[in-house]
Amino acid sequence: MPARRRGKQAFSLVEVTLALGVFVFAGFALIGLLGVVVRGSHDSKEQMQAATIMESICSTRRATPLANLSARNFPLPPLGTSASILSAPIGLTWDGVQTTSGVADPAARFGMIYSIVAPSGYTTMVSPGQAIVYICIYWPPQASPTAGATGRFEVSTSFLLP
């Protein structure tokens, strides 16, 4: 029986080139996804911070609906006035403190607008009422709150007045 010649099995140049092409294509796809993940993470961080600021503003106003907290740069005015108020854009720092120069302030990280509808004829401790408040926190602060903002966090709630 004649001896058969056994050839070594190896990859051809075409197979190696195709495998390398698939690997490069998959690598570029993963790099593209990395940018999406980073942007999504940044947006989630901003939204979480806006929610925290909103919670702080609402809980402070629920505890003291009629107190004037302007000395502490608190962004929401007292709720006991018997008028409808629609604010101009307000700049907020990362911890929810109102900036001195509005949304143009370099310290502003968020913008905020609000609308307050207080009961007509409200008298403290005589005729209890309910104020309806809409608050919108948006970012970046220089953007328009109605268009152009990359993110926004809104709430509409009511506050019982004593």
Residue 1 lies in a domain: no
Residue with tokens 């900036």: 99
Average pLDDT over residues 100-107: 88
The total number of residues shown for the chain amounts to: 162
Average pLDDT over residues 95-114: 91
What's the rounded Cα separation, in Å, for the pair 69 and 98?
Answer: 11
Distances (CA, A) of 98 to 12, 71, 91, 138: 68, 11, 6, 14
Tell me the per-residue pLDDT of 61-98, one tens digit each, with 9 for 90 and over.
999 888 889 888 899 988 876 667 888 899 999 999 99
Residue 18 lies in a domain: no
How high is the pLDDT of residue 53?
A: 95
Residue 145 lies in a domain: yes
Q: Which two tokens stand for residue 116?
A: 């307050």
Answer yes or no: is pLDDT of 10 > 90. no
Phi, psi angle pair for 74, to nearest 5°: -80, 130
What's the rounded Cα separation, in Å, for the pair 41 and 15?
Answer: 39
* Burial of 71: CB neighbours in 10 Å, binned 0-12, 13-18, 19+: exposed
Answer yes or no: is pLDDT of 1 > 70. no
Which of the two residues, 83 and 135, has the higher pLDDT score? Answer: 135
Residue 65 lies in a domain: yes
Q: Supply the range of the domain harboring residue 51.
A: 25-161
Mean predicted lDDT score pLDDT of the chain: 85
Residue 17 lies in a domain: no
* Burial of 72: CB neighbours in 10 Å, binned 0-12, 13-18, 19+: exposed
Residue 13 lies in a domain: no
Answer yes or no: is pLDDT of 135 > 90. yes
Which of the two residues, 86 and 53, has the higher pLDDT score? Answer: 53
Answer yes or no: is pLDDT of 26 > 80. yes
Cβ burial 91-101 (10 Å sphere, 16+ → b, else e): bbbeebebbee
User: 4-13, 35-44, 91-100: which has the highest mean pLDDT?
Assistant: 91-100
What's the rounded Cα separation, in Å, for the pair 121 and 159?
Answer: 16
Domain count, the chain: 1
Average pLDDT over residues 95-123: 88
- Asked if residue 54 lies in contact with residue 155, where contact means CB atoms within 8 angstroms, the answer is yes
- Asked if residue 113 lies in contact with residue 137, where contact means CB atoms within 8 angstroms, the answer is no
Residue 123 lies in a domain: yes
Residue with tokens 């003291």: 64
How high is the pLDDT of residue 52?
A: 95
pLDDT band for position 21 (cuts 50, 70, 90): very high
How high is the pLDDT of residue 37?
A: 73
